[in-house]
Chains A and B, each alone.
Chain A
């Protein structure tokens, strides 16, 4: 029987791999077929990072293996900790965290299983119907990508990388 720490590390390592894929797409945009593919890796990295922290907090892994939609709630808490660890001066960080909350809600709905009672069928994997037409993720302009490119969004991406590195380091030692 594996320990929760083993599971948490497994999720954190997978979050790391997903995040690296996002970073590679950032460096080599020509390799991306569409925005949705890039965002898929960001969504998966955030979800697995949150799940790794949940497992450490005592949530049974079985609860998390087939459920989604944790990013909106928990990613801001994870990023808040990273801000406190890495920034002596917290001035300006309230704005970053406010953006992270908005972004986390948008990242959550990128997962096709998170539909907000049918109000948000847009996702980065499968086509959906809107206004009587089938909409493909390939042609959709995703809000999170725009948020990631404002200054606070770029700070978020750095904090996300640091948070993933930190949890892996903590779990490995």
Chain B
């Protein structure tokens, strides 16, 4: 079974692979205490130039061990402009979440 960090990387790589408009994917992190909980979802902030603006509305998925996804996950998709507003703190993430590390696009994808 992968760690939560490993699964977050795998999920992000697959998203990059099938989404032409995805420019960046970041981890979202809660407090250290919350993130240590085994069932705390993987949280990804996806910057997508093909999506429409609608503010901060995360959606959650359950785990699917049979398909290799062992943890619940939350996806928050934003436009590049919304991402800038998050960076400027004009838009707030809920639950005290912070924008975490960038998960870069895999090198094999960069030429596509």
The chain A residues found within 8 Å of chain B, CB to CB, are 50, 53-54, 56-59, 69-70, 72-74, 76-78, 80-81, 83-86, 90, 93-94, 97-98, 101, 105, 166-167, 170-171
For chain A, what secondary structure do more than half of its interface residues adopt (helix, strand, loop), or is it mixed? Answer: helix
Q: Beta-carbon contacts of B63-96 to A below 8 Å, as 1s and 0s?
A: 0100101000011010000000000000000110
5 new A-B contacts at CB < 8 Å, known A76-B51, A101-B50: A54-B57, A70-B57, A84-B18, A93-B18, A98-B20
Determine the residue in chain A with the shortest Cβ distance to B74: A57
Check if B14 sits within 8 Å of A90, measured CB to CB.
Answer: yes
CA separation between A86 and B62, bound complex, in Å?
Answer: 15
Check if B18 sits within 8 Å of A78, measured CB to CB.
Answer: no
Check if B94 sits within 8 Å of A73, measured CB to CB.
Answer: no
Check if A53 sits within 8 Å of B18, measured CB to CB.
Answer: no
CA separation between A78 and B75, bound complex, in Å?
Answer: 10
Q: How far is the CB of A88 from chain B (nearest CB, A)?
A: 9
Q: How far is the CB of A166 from chain B (nearest CB, A)?
A: 8
Total B residues in contact with A, Cβ cutoff 8 Å: 26
The chain B residues found within 8 Å of chain A, CB to CB, are 11, 14-15, 17-21, 50-52, 54, 57-62, 64, 67, 69, 74-75, 77, 94-95
Given A58-B94, A73-B54, A76-B51, A86–B18 Cβ distance below 8 Å? no
Q: Which of B20, B50, B62, B95 contacts A170 (CB 8 A)?
A: B62
Sampled A-B contacts (24; CB under 8 Å): A50-B59, A54-B59, A56-B59, A56-B60, A56-B61, A56-B62, A57-B58, A57-B60, A58-B94, A58-B95, A59-B58, A74-B77, A80-B15, A80-B19, A81-B61, A84-B14, A84-B67, A85-B64, A90-B14, A90-B17, A90-B18, A98-B20, A166-B64, A167-B62
Check if B77 sits within 8 Å of A73, measured CB to CB.
Answer: yes
Check if A74 sits within 8 Å of B57, measured CB to CB.
Answer: yes
B94 contact set on A, CB distance < 8 A: 58
B50 contact set on A, CB distance < 8 A: 101
CA separation between A50 and B58, bound complex, in Å?
Answer: 11
Q: How far is the CB of A169 from chain B (nearest CB, A)?
A: 9
Check if A77 sits within 8 Å of B59, measured CB to CB.
Answer: yes
Determine the residue in chain A with the shortest Cβ distance to B11: A84
Check if A94 sits within 8 Å of B20, measured CB to CB.
Answer: yes
Q: How far is the CB of A98 from chain B (nearest CB, A)?
A: 6
Given A57-B59, A170-B62, A94–B17 Cβ distance below 8 Å? yes
Q: Which of B11, B14, B21, B51 contacts A73 (CB 8 A)?
A: B51
Q: Which of A57, A74, A85, A94 contacts B18 (CB 8 A)?
A: A94
Q: Which of B20, B60, B67, B95 contacts A53 (CB 8 A)?
A: B60
B57 contact set on A, CB distance < 8 A: 54, 57, 59, 70, 73-74
